């Protein structure tokens, strides 16, 4: 738990710095002994104990991108927020690099709640979380485990276990397809072990093929252009350990999401290719404090960074309803 991190001091976000909030770097640790790096945003006019929100995502992204934009914007609206890098990613610790785990990454959210709960300027009874894209599913999984989380937002969410097991749009949802995928991954493990390093995969294809489907172009437009590129983001600059997501195939993260008692808001764009994840996740939820919000005309990455599309007014009202 004493892992020393090297943190960047200069402002290196993909969005402009707000003059309405104070920004600082903080660290905290999870129960696996990994030290996580985060940006903390505090309203300049803050007094007393504040409601707090932890933000993470998308999958393969870093806190300097969409998560930081959400966190800073919500801090402008009166919440103490942190945007954190998950284990093995960005400025956070953990080796080998570029790994992912449904268990550890869910724990990352819970560790963020641990950290917020003991801050003198946070009300521990008023903590929420926001997960974006692949971390939308992780946020719901954390909410199903962590009774301290009073309100959860999943924005343009992905279910990373489902997409790894079934492929995009469930196009590989068969025993035979999964067997061939497992076989290829296990062969890669032998090659990695023999070679002494882990092969990287995933990420955003570059150069972009002319016949790439729209959702691939959508990712490219965000991660590979000035709009959202960041050198520490796995999607901007390479990919993650190709066998590092293998366990996602066998571990459905939304197994008990119907037992989430606290408030949930799921957001997705009308034209987002990921909308079936949000729709199906929402269908499992129970209780009258759950809401599915569809943004007309929006595609997947619109909810990463387009402040005129992201429904921040609705997010503010949602968290005010359930954290105050």
**Shortest CA distance to 281 belongs to which of 309, 260, 298, 302?**
260
Residue 89 pLDDT > 90: yes
Burial 243-282 (b: 16+ CB within 10 A, else e): bbbbebbebbbbeebeebebbbbbbbbeebbbbebbeebb
Average pLDDT over residues 282-306: 98
pLDDT confidence tier of residue 1, bands split at 50, 70 and 90: low
Confidence of residue 241 (pLDDT cuts 50, 70, 90): confident
Is residue 91 very low, low, confident or very high in pLDDT (cuts 50, 70, 90)?
very high
What tens digit of pLDDT does each residue of 252-269 get? Answer: 999 999 999 999 999 999
Q: Over 70: is that where the pLDDT of 164 sits?
A: yes
Q: Where are the alpha helices (DSSP H) in the chain?
A: 66-76, 102-117, 134-145, 160-166, 175-195, 214-223, 275-284, 302-305, 312-323
Q: What average pLDDT does the segment 226-241 reach?
A: 92
Dig out the tokens for 1 from the structure: 């738990």
> Mean pLDDT score of the chain, rounded to an integer?
95
Q: Is the pLDDT of residue 324 over 90?
A: no
% residues pLDDT > 70 (the chain): 99
Residue 240's pLDDT band, with cuts at 50, 70 and 90, is confident
Q: pLDDT tens digits, residue range 99-129?
A: 999 999 999 999 999 999 999 999 999 999 9
Check residue 200 and report its DSSP letter: E
Per-residue pLDDT for 239 more than 90? no
Confidence of residue 166 (pLDDT cuts 50, 70, 90): very high
Give me the mean pLDDT over the 8-30 stretch. 97
């Amino acid at each position: 738990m004493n892992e020393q991190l090297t943190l960047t001091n200069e402002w290196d976000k993909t969005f402009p710095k707000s003059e309405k909030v104070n920004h600082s770097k903080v660290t905290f640790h999870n129960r696996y002994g990994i030290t996580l790096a985060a940006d903390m945003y505090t309203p300049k006019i803050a007094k007393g104990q504040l409601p707090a929100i932890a933000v993470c995502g998308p999958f393969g992204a870093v806190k300097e991108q969409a998560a930081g934009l959400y966190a800073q914007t919500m801090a402008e609206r009166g919440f103490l927020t942190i945007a954190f890098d998950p284990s093995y990613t960005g400025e956070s610790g953990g080796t080998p690099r570029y790994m992912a785990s449904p268990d550890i990454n869910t724990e990352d959210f819970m560790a963020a709640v641990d950290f917020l709960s003991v801050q003198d300027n946070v009300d521990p009874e008023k903590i929420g979380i926001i997960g974006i894209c692949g971390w939308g599913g992780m946020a719901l999984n954390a909410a199903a485990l962590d009774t301290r989380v009073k309100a959860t937002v999943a924005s343009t969410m992905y279910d990373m276990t489902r997409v790894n097991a079934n492929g995009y749009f469930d196009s590989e949802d068969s025993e035979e397809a999964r067997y061939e995928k497992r076989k290829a991954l296990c062969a890669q493990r032998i090659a990695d072990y023999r070679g002494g390093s882990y092969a990287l995969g995933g990420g955003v294809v570059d150069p972009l093929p002319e016949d790439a489907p729209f959702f691939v172009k959508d990712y490219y437009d965000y991660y590979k252009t000035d709009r959202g590129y960041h050198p520490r983001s796995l999607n901007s600059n390479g990919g993650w350990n190709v066998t590092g997501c293998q366990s996602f195939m066998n571990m459905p993260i939304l197994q008990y999401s119907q037992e989430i008692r606290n408030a949930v808001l799921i957001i997705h764009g009308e034209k987002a290719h990921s909308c079936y994840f949000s729709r199906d996740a929402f269908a499992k939820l129970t209780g009258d404090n759950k809401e599915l919000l569809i943004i007309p005309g929006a595609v997947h990455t619109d909810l990463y960074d387009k402040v005129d599309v992201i429904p921040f007014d609705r997010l503010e009202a949602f968290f005010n309803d359930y954290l105050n």
